[in-house]
């Protein structure tokens, strides 16, 4: 005679699974923190490695200056230089795929590795002797609305003009104003709201550079079929 056994989960397992699911639902910070997700960690590691290479280059420069001042370098200084050289070579090899050719502006000292940043820079016409110059041809004019109209009509680029910088700026936030008294009133309120520990956090309207897409399954597909469902645009 064959006996039937019904396996039921233990109460501890039920409470543990329900507890974890409830914690995931009630703790939005863990799920919403982009930098703790695998994709966020991937981008953070790239940035940390680039910064580490810069720091190692600066430390190596300092150690070499110290060696030159000493005349006859000590064993500790030479050991530090050798260690930094090895670490710097390793960092450069890791960061090689993320190094791009430096692009320089033809009209000012601006330079960048990003073609997108350079294109954004060229949206602003350069000014010399109070005359605006088009960044894409030899056109020059004095009125600001003429240069903007020319860029949009001739080059299909919506230009923009830089705002003149204010005389006074808040050291804790982007606020700036020409009036010193207005800045003083702002500083009192800003000192109460400003938190140095989150000063380098992304702004509230910040959007992540990349997201893992979540494709909704079509109706009628269940189980394993949903795993192979491809979304079409």
Beta-bridge partner residues of 128: 131
Give the separation between CA 47 and CA 101, rounded to whole angstroms: 18
Answer whether residue 26 shows pLDDT above 90.
no
| Average pLDDT of the chain, as a whole number | 81
pTM surpassing 0.85?
A: no
pLDDT grade for 216, boundaries at 50, 70 and 90? low
Answer whether residue 77 shows pLDDT above 70.
yes
Residues above pLDDT 70, as percent of the chain: 77
What distances in angstroms separate CA 2 from CA 5, 6, 7, one per listed residue?
Answer: 10, 13, 16
**Residue 172 · residue 199 · CB < 8 Å:** yes
Residues above pLDDT 90, as percent of the chain: 50
**Residue 170 · residue 176 · CB < 8 Å:** yes
Residue 233 or residue 205, greater confidence: 205
Residue 17 or residue 105, greater confidence: 105
Give the pLDDT confidence of 220-229 residue by residue, as tens digits: 555 544 444 4
Mean pLDDT of the 36-65 span? 92
Mean pLDDT of the 64-83 span? 88
Mean pLDDT of the 117-145 span? 94
Give the separation between CA 93 and CA 107, rounded to whole angstroms: 34
Mean pLDDT of the 19-27 span? 48
CA angle 122, 127, 133 (to 5 degrees): 65
Q: Which of 25-39, 59-73, 100-114, 120-134 has the lowest mean pLDDT?
A: 25-39
Give the pLDDT confidence of 134-171 residue by residue, as tens digits: 999 999 999 999 999 999 999 999 999 988 778 999 98
- The conformational region for residue 223 under phi > 0 = left, psi -120 to 50 = alpha, else beta, is left
């Amino acid at each position: 005679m064959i006996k039937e056994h019904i396996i039921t989960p233990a109460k501890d397992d039920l409470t543990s699974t329900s507890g974890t699911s409830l914690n995931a639902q009630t703790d939005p910070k863990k799920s919403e923190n982009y930098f703790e997700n695998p994709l966020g960690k991937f981008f953070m590691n790239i940035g940390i490695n680039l910064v580490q290479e810069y720091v190692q280059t600066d430390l190596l420069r300092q150690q070499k200056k110290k060696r030159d001042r000493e005349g006859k370098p000590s064993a500790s200084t030479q050991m530090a230089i050798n260690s930094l050289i090895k670490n710097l070579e390793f960092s450069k090899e890791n960061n090689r795929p993320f190094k791009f050719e430096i692009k320089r502006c033809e009209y000012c000292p601006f330079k960048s590795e990003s073609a997108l940043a350079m294109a954004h820079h060229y949206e602003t016409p350069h000014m010399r002797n109070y005359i605006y110059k088009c960044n894409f041809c030899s056109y020059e004019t004095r009125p600001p609305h003429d240069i903007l109209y020319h860029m949009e009509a001739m080059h299909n680029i919506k230009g923009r003009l830089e705002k003149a910088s204010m005389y006074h700026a808040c050291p804790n936030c982007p606020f700036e104003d020409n009036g010193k008294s207005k800045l003083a009133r702002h500083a009192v309120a800003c000192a109460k709201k400003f938190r140095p520990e989150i000063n380098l956090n992304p702004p509230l309207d910040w959007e992540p550079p990349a997201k893992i897409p979540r494709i909704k399954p079509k109706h009628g597909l269940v189980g394993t079929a949903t795993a192979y469902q491809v979304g079409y645009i």
